[in-house]
Structure formats: structure tokens, C-alpha cells
Chains A and B, each alone.
Chain A
Amino acid sequence: MNSEPARDRLVSLLERAAELKELLSGNEAIARGIYEAGVKVAVGYPGTPSTEILENVEKYKEDVYCEWSPNEKVAFEVAAGASLTGARAIVTMKHVGLNVAADPLMTLTYVGAVGGFVAIVADDPGMHSSQNEQDTRQYARFAKIPILEPADSEEARDFLVAGLELSEKFKTPVILRTTTRISHSRTLVQLRERVEHEPQGFKKDPPRFVPIPAWARPMRVRVEERLKAMAPEVCASPMNRIEWAGKELGIIACGVAYQYVKEVFPEASVLKLGWAYPFPDELIRQFAAGVSRLLVVEELDDFVEEHVKSLGIACDGKNFIPNIGELSPMLLRRIRARMEGKELPQTLPVEEASQLPPRPPVLCPSCPHRAVFAALGKFDVVVTGDIGCYSLGVAAPLNRMDTILCMGAGISMAHGMKVAGEKRRVVGMVGDSTFFHSGITGLLDIGYNKSAPVIIILDNRVTAMTGHQENPGSGLTLMGETTWQASIEDFARACGIKRVFAVDPLKYDAFIELLKESFDTPEPTVIISRSPCIVHDHSGLQTVRQVDPDLCRTCKVCLKIGCPALEFTDGHVRINSLMCGGCSLCEQICPFDAISPISEP
């Protein structure tokens, strides 16, 4: 097929190419940047699309200390502490995580950084895996700190390094903002070597590090002076550049939108803003003066557009570009047609596609959470839910979750409903990682202020939804060391809850009995549903189940639990043996004993 010499030539060519560049996701590239820039401390809390940053930093654990913190606020503070010793430090989170970390952010901006401090925040326009699509750039303006927006993986690495340098030069925290399409797109990156940055150690300086009012007031002034001092730098930075082309149309573009603009408007001049705040006013004025018509293309809010207009410069923007959802080259093609007074025919999915069965994400086969939802289906209850795999319990056929707000709210909102006098039984539901993240304080409130919901903590020993990260209950750290396993029972009792049970929900009848008894008690109850995530911990896999067609009466009770391994085709219920993990829930609920383990060969 191919001769050996040709193959050898190819291999050597390939090896040389491989030395030069690697195809990395934005998240992998940022992890690489963390290593190369001599970062000492890298911490965060998992959240799509940010999670793989720290997972990849773990590869460099000989040089970079890394950890999953219990939540983003803690992580932010850990990185802040590290920075004050002079160490370069970063913290990672998804956009909503910055809400949790907003408290330390809004004062670290006064205290400032010593070693470079970058908060890497991943936004999710279009809400692929999120409950909202807030625009993190607003936080940069709110906190009066720089925000950097890469447009591909190489820039993600480069901007991280530039952010650490900026942070040290201006003694400011910096935000590196990615979006889903930057985090999860893979593009070529040229690797570099690590450059060490040895911390000097913490140097006592109370007027600098202690924002009691007398010292916070001068700090407040310094925040404004810092913004002014950055003005020339932001205009001269290579992160912001003008690419002159035709003078008819000029486009200001940020983040991944730059790539779409280059593809859909190849003839336009482009002002690419990689460092959008503080705004590069002079650069914007220079660019606007050089083109006849100005358009701002940015995802989500009119962050740049509003400022351009405040400079007295006329521009198009959100009158054409939606502020909801993510952009795409297809969307820009349509917008371009509309700006030119044309209408592009819609390339809709084929007609037959509308008749396709939806394929939404579902709880995995043999997921222990399924038993909890199936059991709750037997009671008239309100379930205040939370963020995690178990959010999927809201969907048909389980339909057993009624609210979601944010991490930890599953517990606190249950308390709120009880004190408001809700007549139905109220169940609050959170996962193990979510409980450690921000459920503990809600439970303390229940113990302290004496309401009586039933709180179910779905303890599968891992942060499953984001891809099985360790948490304080796992007994393992991100760096692979064994550690103490936090006891949810002990936390619950310490919060003043006397009725605390840890049970396996797959002992289904007993679980239903416990629920019933708990609903009849005037005291708060914590039920820890303890069963490992089957995808993560295969030790729980059991013998595959099968349906006996002679005993099955096609009552379809088993189909109500929404297990992907149970298929109903051609009038028969079957169990897909490749999917079934043998949890036995279907066997336990079958009224006709038609389901049993397959006989061993």
C-alpha cells in the first residue's frame, strides 16, 4: 500500500510538525499556559464549560499545586491568599460561579494582587449546560478590572500569560473570559517552556492588605487611578489590533465572534478587541474615523456597543445582532443579508426531522438517582431541586422536580416553602458535591429556625455531571492523594438535624417506607441516598436483567422510570443488554415478576 521510505519520510515530517504545534482545546491551552507562566497555585470548582482546565493542570502537578475547592468563593480566596505571597495564582469557574465568588472579587479589586492573579471564567452563551447566560464582562466593569477575551486556543494560552503580567504590573486581579466555543474548540497551539516565578513570601503591609475603612478609602482612589493608568496600555496592547481592509464597513469584534466575522465579512476592516475593558477609547476613535459604517459584533450584552455610543460614535450592533444566545457564522450570514436588504432563504432541517423522536439527555442506565425519583412519584410532594445530574429528574417520564434556582437552593428553598405555610409535603434535593458547595448553610438554617422539610442528599461520592471530579466526600484530591472523606451525616447532625438516615435507594421498598415515615414526622429529616455513580465506579454493576415475554403483560410500569436500557418496540418490552447495568429497579417495580437476572451461560 505505502512504501517504507515514504512512510519514514512522513513520520519524520510529522514528528517535526508535532514538535511545533498541538491541537488543543481552549481549556487544554489555558492549562498549558498555567504551566508555562510559572503559576504556583491553580484552584477552582468544576462547571461546564470550564472544567477541563484544572483537569489538565493536574498533568503538571509536579510544578503546579492544584485543587478542587468546595466552591468558587473558597477557590477565589485560596488563589487570593497565594497571590499575596507573591505566587502566581489562578482560579477557574463557570460564569455562575463568579456570582458565588463575587464577594471576594469586589474587595480583592481594592486590595489588589502581588503575584499575578487571573480568574478564568467560562461563559455559556446559548446555555448548552447552564441555567442562565449572564455576560461576565459586566463583572469586569463592576469590579473595575481588566477582562481579556481570546478568540482561539493559542490566544487563550497567550492571554492567560499576558493577564498574569498585567496583574503584576497594575497590582490588579484580571478576568480571562472564555465562552463554550472557545473552551471546547480545538485549534493549533505552539507550545513553550515553563518560566519559573518564585514567590517572595508575604510581606506585611496593613494599609495595602487590610481594607478597614481608613485604608479602604485610599484603596478606592487607587482603583480609579489604576483604570486611568491602564488607558494607554490597553490601546497599545497587541491583544487589541486593527486589521485594515475595505473602508466601507468596519467591524468591532470580540472573542469567537471575531472568527465568524472574518469568515462572513472578508472585505471589512476589523478592530479585534481581546482586551475590551477598560475600553481602548483612542483605538476605537481611530478605527471609527477610518470606516464609513461601523458595526459591533459581540455575543450577549451590548457591552462594547454601549460604550462606543457613549463616545458619541454612531454604530450598528444589537439592532442586527441578537443579545440572546450564541452567534454562529450562519447567523452572521443571515444578518449580513439583512443589512444588505436581502433575505437569505432559511436552511431549515429537512421536513422529516420534525417528526423525529427527541433525544434529550437522560439519567444513565442503572443511575441510583432514578430510584429516588421513582419513589417520590408515589407521593404528593413539592420537590425543590438543584444543579447536577439529578436536574434530569425534571423531565418526563419521571417529572419529579419542581424548582431549580442555583447551587444549594434545593435545601434553602424547601425551608422557605415550609415557613410560608406550603400545605403539601416539601422535599429539598441536592447532590453530595452541591451539599458541600453551598447546601450546608441552608441545612443549618433549617436546624436553627426549626422547619421540617425532608432533605434528600443524593450521595454518589463524586461530582458526576461535569465528568466525575473529586469532592470532599470522595476521599481523593485532584492531585490524586488520598484524604479524609467528609461525612454528610456528621454535617447534618452538626446542623441540628436529629433524624439522619443513610440508605441505598435501590433497596426500593425500604426506601419508600422511609420516605413515608419521614413525611409523617413533624421534625426535619435528612435522607442520604448513598449509592455510587455507576459510570464512575463500576464495582456496583450487577447481572444484566431480561424480560420474560411469557410473564410480561405489557403493563409498561417499568417504562415509567425512563431507563434508556428499557426499549419498547413492536409491542414488546426488551432490555438492551449492552446498556443495562443490573441495578434491578425495573425488576423490583414489575408487578408480574417478569424481569429477572439473565441466566449465567
Chain B
Amino acid sequence: MADLSIDFAGIKSPNPFWLASAPPTDKEYNVRRAFEAGWGGVVWKTLGLDPHIVNVNGPRYGAIYGADRRLLGLNNIELITDRPLQTNLEEIKAVKRDWPDRAMVVSLMVPCEEWAWKQILPLVEDTGADGVELNFGCPHGMSERGMGSAVGQVPEYIEMVTRWVKQNTRMPCIVKLTPNITDVRQPAEAAYRGGADAVSLINTINSITSVNLDLFAPEPTIDGKGAHGGYCGPAVKPIALNMVAEIARNTETADLPISGIGGITTWRDAAEFIALGAGSVQVCTAAMTYGFKIVEEMKSGLSQWMDEKGHTSIAAISGRAVPNCSDWKNLNLNYVAKAKINQDLCISCGRCFAACEDTSHQAIGMSADRTFTVIDEECVACNLCVNVCPVEDCITMEAMAPGSVDPRTGKVVEEGFADWTTHPNNPAAVAAE
């Protein structure tokens, strides 16, 4: 049986599945239910200084759906906790006392002034919490007041505040990053320089979910107006995976632990984040969609996969895909593939034909009896036919053996490796020695 327990930047938990700082971790009642359901840890919903903030009294969420109203993306305009600081602190202390083996991380957001951090950190430390997470990511509402992503978008502020925190508490410090930035490596480096024990990402993405075409107003709509919110859920996972990989690949931050966040819905999503360097994962939208019970599938699925593959611990798989994250220029141009259609599986829908004929390389032929075949002379192996085919594994990309001739180019497929850096068409190519 694989060991799912983790030690993430000094914070221990029985499994890598934490609930992210968000409505599910807003109060004692929810967090107790989460721990009873089996979550390894929580990041308590962001605390601020009193007087506590207020929320809107209309809709806070908007959603994007797939088939059968399957929720693919969620947008929110909720702010940090809207309850008194003392109430939260008492509840955190009570829960942590009863659940000592679970990770209790407390998310914080106070003004960018040292006194504010000096004031709140001892109060959190007193609860017995295992660590703090600095919310430099929230992109709506709080950012208008110079907090949240307004800090996360300025690396100098990140470094400064992180340093204050490290100087004023013994607790591990996780810096939560915003994706609303052009190069996520820079805020990560700033956190690292400030002494952060880890980073977590991504926070939500600036978004307007939809527009009400009767009101001509963005949704969710509050009395005829809408403000941008933060987007999360399965739709943001590819963006989050890339940002996690960017930080994991960066030699400057190579040993900085990462808590992966962004659309994690199943064990497989979690395993992918871990493979790209995450040491723990945080979940929110999936729990908000299906309830806390989903953690059972996440744990059983991850455990089964690890057992099947012989992986014994989370540490053993964390970052295993990072060395294979490459720049485009280093991809092997001698690798030649062709699409191949399995006629036994093909159901003759013709989607591959329409896609290739209308929008790609005219590399699929269609006969009068609706047999679809790849024209190797035209196929550039773009993979679009694979992506639009409704039947799994019906169309595959088959690598050509070295020595054979690519009928498209008439050239022999070379055995060795050759990338753009040495390609004759590259004006900056380095001649082979």
C-alpha cells in the first residue's frame, strides 16, 4: 500500500489533499466535516484585521457548464472571511486541538505594513496552527484596496512582506501566487528571496463568466451591474499545470516546495500536479460542486495508481515529469509521426475529415462508403484528428522508424536527435561541431 502521507515544508498531513482557502474552510463546522470526510489538511479561509469585511448580498458565483450542466468553471466575487477575527481564531484552535494529525494552515491578508503582520501573526501562532499562507492572489475586491493580487503582481512587495512574516513567526510560510501576471517565475523568485518556505498556486484568474443578454450586464449580476471575479475549476487546470511547471523547472526556485492548485477534480489531476513538482495539492471547486466525499475517490485512485506503478511515496513521484518539460527549441525535429485510423473502431462520423479538410492539411481521404483514411503524403502529424475523434484510441499517432522515408517530405527519417538550435533554417543556428 502506497504511503500517501506528506511533509510539506515542515507541515505534516496524512495525505496530500488539502482544501484550499475558500468558502469550504470558512468556519469550524465545515472544517470539522472536512476532516471527518478524510481531507489531509485545510487552508483556513483568509483572515484579515477587524473590522471584518462585508460581502455582497446578491450572487457571488457564476458558472460555465459542459454537457448535462457539468460544471467546468466557477467564478466568484466573494471576499476574505466576513466574520470577526477572534471568532475565527477560537474555532481554528478548537479544531486543531481535536485533529492534531491534520494540516491546519491559516491564510492571511492584511495591509502592506509591517505593524499589521506583527499584530496578526502571534494571534495565529497561538491557535496551534501548522503554518500560514499569504494570500497574494485574490484578484477581486481586496485587490482594489491594495491587497491580494495587488501585492502578488509586484515582486518587490512579495519579497518585503514575506520577509516581515518570516521575521515575526516560527510558522512555515507559504506564499500564494496570482496567475494574473505575465511571468509567474518572478513572483516565485521574490517569495523565495523573502524566505518563503513554499509557494502555492494558482489563485483564481480575472474573469467575466458570461453576459446577461437581456440586461447587457456581466454575470453574476448585482442589481444590474457586475464586477470581474476569480475563475477556477476544471477549466483552469492546464493554465495552473503550466505555471507549476514553470516554477519547478526554474533553477532559481528548484528546491522551493509547491502546493498545486487549479481545477483538481480527480486523483489523476492531483497526480499530474505532483508529477510536475507539487508536494501537496489544494482543492476547492470540486468540493464545492460535489461535496467533501470526493476525497475518498482521490485517495483510493492515487493509492491504486501508485501501487500499480510501484511508487511508494508522494515524495518519490513529486517532480518526476519536470525533467521532461522542455522548451520548444529543444524538441526533436527528427521525430516523424503519422496519424493512423483504426478502421475497426471508426464509426464514420467524419469529424476528422471535416477538421483536416477545412482547417488543416487535407490529409484525410473520404470514400463514397464513408471510409476515412490518412494520406501520409499530406499528414504533418498535427494531432487535430485525434483530438476531435469521439472514439478513444481510434486515431493514433504512429512514429516512423528511422531509415524509412517520410512520403510528405521525401526525406529519410534520421535516427539521431536534431532540434531547432541546429536547424539550417534557423539564422541563429549553432553549427554542429
Do A and B originate from a single complex? no
